[in-house]
Amino acid sequence: MDRFELDILGCGSATPTTLHNPSSQVLNIREKLFMIDCGEGTQLQFRRSKLRFGRLNRIFVSHLHGDHCFGLIGLISTLGLLGRTGSLFIHTVAGLEDTLRPEIDFFCKDNPFEVKIEVFDPKKNEVIYEDRSVKVETIPLVHRVPCAGFLFREKQKEAHLIPDMIKFYNIPVRELAKIKQGADFLTEDGRIIPHSHLTTPAEPARSYAYCSDTAYSEKIIPIIEGVDLLYHEATFADIDKNRARDTGHSTARQAAKIAKMANVKKLMLGHFSARYPDNKILLEEAREVFFNTVLANEGLREKL
């Protein structure tokens, strides 16, 4: 099966600690690397995770708080020093161009590649990127500034041909593509050989939803319904739910409630406040509502 893996580079909140780096992660989809957020120190974590800079495809920035984008200029500089020539695309909300472009022009003016910033509307649920392997759409979130999450849906592969059956019915090569896409085969004597007799189903397409930063919002449930893995911020424990509400964040219990209502397969908590020296309190609270919950942590690689 082709790769669909999530690497956690940072899962802390605004203040870096000895436990956690600011937000960043990388999704490997069929050997293309998609970065989600880029907090301070991201490129160091990228190296520690033994990821390849040359395979970095695109960057998706959820919002313009520093713990989600302060690492961009350092990463862009490093990519230039490593000889990147292909354009780097950054998908984000309005405003990044005004702040990042002067830094690029000053620190990275000799870079051999172009940085292209593509702006999306965080209030809309819409497709912002698509290729042969994946479709990426935005998830409107509720925060103190314009903010969106991202939903990655792998495209369903074609069915697998059964070589012995193809040979038995002497099926011409020109017919194979259509059969893989679902067509039946008509023999010379008029018999219909069903597609299901000639193929085996492809592996189910996988999906991943990233929701950070956000206050509790049930509006995202129809968008993330049934995803294989949901990363949902859990900045606070339930004892601090008023603080969560006031700052546009969620508690672990609220994240678990969203996961349960959306029928997701697995929940990963992240974006932890520095006030908790041990994140197990968050895990315990979430598992009371949705048991299949894990904690994000730097260096964690989750295979979907």
- Three-state DSSP at 61 gives coil
Q: Which two tokens stand for residue 44?
A: 């160091």
Classify residue 69 as exposed, middle or buried by CB count within 10 Å of its CB (0-12, 13-18, 19+).
Answer: buried
Q: Where are the alpha helices (DSSP H) in the chain?
A: 42-48, 72-81, 96-107, 163-168, 173-180, 195-198, 221-224, 241-247, 252-261, 280-287
Rounded CA-CA distance 11/68 in Å is 10
The rounded radius of gyration (Å) of the Cα atoms in the chain is: 22
214: nearest Cα among 227, 231, 233, 230:
233
**Residue 72 half-sphere exposure toward CB, CA atoms < 13 A:** 31
User: Residue 37, Cβ neighbours under 10 Å: how many?
Assistant: 28
- Three-state DSSP at 3 gives coil
User: Residue 58, Cβ neighbours under 10 Å: how many?
Assistant: 20
Residue 67 among the catalytic residues: yes
- Determine which one of 2, 7, 37, 67 is catalytic: 67
Residues with catalytic roles: 67
